Structure 1
Amino acid sequence: MSQVYNETSVSPLDLIAIGEAIVIIDVRKPAARSSSGLEVPGSVWRHPFDAVNWAGAFKGRRVVVYCVHGHEVSRAVRGLLEDSGIEARLIEGGFEAWRAAGLPVVPVELSDG
């Protein structure tokens, strides 16, 4: 998908090019996030299975979520956010696509979330 920001997803390179205020949320499961030890710079981690409780904090903001590969976890969270009235997309291919594109990563702050 080559559109910069389509209905459900955005490529890692297109996300960088957008240049607008977008909240990037890491919704990888705790074990996957911890074993990676890395995250997208500036992203915030939220537990994917608790999205119903934290979604409201992002009302009125454009949100992009990512999991490991951009499949079930981020798709489920994106759907819940959209159902809550929050404009949400996912990073195509997830964190692994971000890394494969050679984009910057930073160490996970294990104390957040």
Structure 2
Amino acid sequence: MSHTMQQTSVSPVELASLPQGARVLIDIRKPRARAASGLAIPGSVWRHPFDAANWAEEFSHCNVALFCVHGHEVSQAVCGYLRDMEIDAVIMEGGFEAWKQAGLPVETLAEADV
């Protein structure tokens, strides 16, 4: 798999199989959706999806993978913005729900680095 700006999405299983640190996993679920699930992906960082202009620079030298609940509008909008900023960003296909359905690890928000 090539990690270039040409790639726009990655499957949860593919993402989970990458070496640790290959991509920064950014949780951009809206606060209410994130709180309602009570779960997070271990090692992911949460950023507010509608505040990307204020946090994008933090990831300017990183390869990132974004996820919202289902990998649709929220992820696509933020990914487009980051890519316009020349940040190597991809969307995790199917979002957080696909990660859970694949049986990949989750933790409670209390355990997560919030």
- Normalising by structure 2, what TM-score? 0.89
Alignment partner, residue 10 of structure 2? 10
User: Where in structure 2 are the equivalents of 1:1-113 lying within 5 Å?
Assistant: 7-21=7-21, 22-109=23-110, 112=114
RMSD over aligned CA atoms reads 1.8
Q: Matched residue of 2:29: which SS?
A: coil
- Note the residue ranges of structure 1 that are not aligned, 5 or more in a row: none
What is the Cα deviation at residue 31 of structure 1?
0.3
Percent of aligned pairs sharing the same letter: 55
Counterpart contact for 1:26–1:46, Cα < 8 Å: yes
Counterpart contact for 2:33–2:69, Cα < 8 Å: yes
User: What CA distance in whole angstroms lies between the structure 2 residues aligned with 1:64 and 1:33?
Assistant: 17
Counterpart code for 2:7? E
Say if 1:33 and 1:4 are closer, same or farther in 2 by CA, change over 3 A. Answer: farther
What is the Cα deviation at residue 85 of structure 1?
1.1
What is the Cα deviation at residue 45 of structure 1?
0.3
Report Cα offsets for 1:7-27 as digits up to 9, x if no partner: 110000001122152110000
User: What CA distance in whole angstroms lies between the structure 1 residues aligned with 2:20 and 2:82?
Assistant: 19
Counterpart code for 1:35? A
Report Cα offsets for 1:66-108 as digits up to 9, x if no partner: 0000000011111111111110001100000000000000111
- Note the residue ranges of structure 2 that are not aligned, 5 or more in a row: none
User: What CA distance in whole angstroms lies between the structure 2 residues aligned with 1:4 and 1:111?
Assistant: 29
User: What CA distance in whole angstroms lies between the structure 2 residues aligned with 1:67 and 1:105?
Assistant: 14
Q: Matched residue of 1:63: which SS?
A: strand
What is the Cα deviation at residue 43 of structure 1?
0.3
